[in-house]
Amino acid sequence: MTLEDVKHSETINHLVLKKFFYDNLSVYNEINNIQQEIKIGNRIADIYVELKNGKKIVIEIQHSKISSSEIIQRTKEYNQEGDFVLWVLEGKGFDRKPKNEDWVYTSSAENYLHEIYQGRVYYMNAAKEGLLAPLYALHFTPYFENKISSFGAKYFKKSKNKRSVVYNEVHSLELILFRHKGFKLARFKDKNLKELCTSEVINFINAFNSYQSRNPDELRKLSPNGLTLGILIRKFRENFGLYLLFDVLRSLKFVSSADAIFMFNEKYWLDKYIFS
């Protein structure tokens, strides 16, 4: 952001978010210096932080649409000045909410941030009254659309331009520095949701298989094909969403694309596994 940008684009929401980070980052990090609206090169950084270990961080709070090329350019410029960069988007400006949602169009900027921040984009929602939602991260996962073939058969196909998003509240403002895709970046101390889901699913499958081996007759009636997808759906859908769970199970080779019909046929598994 240039000085001219600051003069014309400052909003109440932007001020609220800057104040939040200025007031709270020192609670979670050992900081020598923290400033708002400091000139770095040809840019004006929203928040500038110098840690006690000498590392310097710029936090860019973006409250309006932006191109991925502009994100790349700003990040490069701050990196050239020796600063790590953390991007936070104002959720209202990008029509984002702290909740799981399906059938979502994501911008090129959000998709790029999701890539460089290794499966997360940070958001906060603010208004003149103050914060509307605490800091949160969204994970984007493939969305599968219901299609009907020319023969009348139902199938699911991965969408090219829509996503499913999974919400994760960020509980700590502790800053973590890392390098990725050629950039010097900073993020908060939150977990990658796909990695977390994968770990929890693997642990649950192992425990389930152990139980099933001891009680085969009791569990066989619940399972159409070995370890039931219905049980996994019931266990993990609320926290991780159906589409992230499906993505994880495909990565684990536990299901194939052919299982999408079962996974996404809500009436079937709701009736069979949740309400029965």
pTM recorded for the entire structure: 0.87
DSSP code, position 138: E
Burial 166-199 (b: 16+ CB within 10 A, else e): bbbebeebebeeeeeeebbbbbbebeebbebbbe
| Residues 6 or more apart in contact with residue 201 via CB below 8 angstroms | 232, 236, 245, 248, 249, 252
pLDDT value of position 220? 43
pLDDT tens digit sequence for 92-111: 889 999 999 999 999 999 99
pLDDT tens digit sequence for 33-42: 999 999 999 9
What length does the chain have? 276
pLDDT value of position 266? 60
Strand bridging mode 43-51 / 183-188: unpaired
The percent of residues in the chain predicted with pLDDT above 70, rounded, is: 86
Instruction: Give the H or E element holding residue 246.
Output: helix 242-251
pLDDT tens digit sequence for 45-83: 999 999 999 999 999 999 888 999 999 999 999 999 999
| Residues 6 or more apart in contact with residue 38 via CB below 8 angstroms | 44, 45, 48
For residue 262, pLDDT over 60 is answered with yes
pLDDT value of position 173? 97
3-state helix, strand, coil in the chain (%, to 5): 40, 35, 25
Q: 57, 86 in Cβ contact below 8 A?
A: yes
Read off the pLDDT of each residue in 197-219 and give the average, rounded to a whole number: 74
Provide the pLDDT confidence category of residue 4 given band limits of 50, 70 and 90: very low
Sign of CA dihedral 99, 171, 57, 23: positive
For residue 144, pLDDT over 80 is answered with yes
pLDDT value of position 226? 45
pLDDT tens digit sequence for 191-205: 999 999 999 999 988
Read off the pLDDT of each residue in 114-142 and give the average, rounded to a whole number: 92
For residue 241, pLDDT over 80 is answered with yes
**Other beta carbons less than 10 A from residue 57's beta carbon:** 24
